[in-house]
Amino acid sequence: MREFEGELQRHANEVGLHFDFTKMIPANTQHAHRLAKLMAHYNLEYQFTEALMAGHFIEGQDLADDHYLYDVVESLGVARHEAMSVREKSVYSEQLEQDCYDAQQIGVESAPFFVFDNRFGIIGAESIAVFERTIQQVLQT
């Protein structure tokens, strides 16, 4: 595991990211993924995801902690009660199940996994060169 973390950190450093593996808390992120769908409704999915990734990888935030998730939602200008209703009413559960099914159909078995044009995939944390080659393949097809 330490070897994998070292490799991941090296790749992250290439793009200016700094992870603190000692602070990371394993978590069930199903609710966070459903909240990302809420945030997409407001065109804030990217900002929400970036905030969660920084919280998880750098600050050691628990992505299963509703209070933390709701704080992030609220910090982006969406009402806390809307985020709470996603949990209470299991909103976006069907869409998340469909996402999981779609991921299984294209062979996603781990995270991170990056999909380009629904045809090309990169498994795990790879170098910038791998991403560049994949993007070139997508552009050529």
Q: Are 84 and 45 in contact (CB under 8 A)?
A: no
Tens of pLDDT, residue by residue over 102-134, are: 888 888 887 778 888 888 888 877 778 899 999
Tens of pLDDT, residue by residue over 42-101, are: 999 999 999 999 999 889 999 999 999 999 999 999 999 999 999 999 999 999 999 999
DSSP string, 50-63: HHHHHIIIII---T
Residues 6+ apart with CB under 8 A from 129: none
- What's the whole-model pTM score? 0.79
Rounded CA separation 114/120 (Å): 8
Q: Are 26 and 60 in contact (CB under 8 A)?
A: no
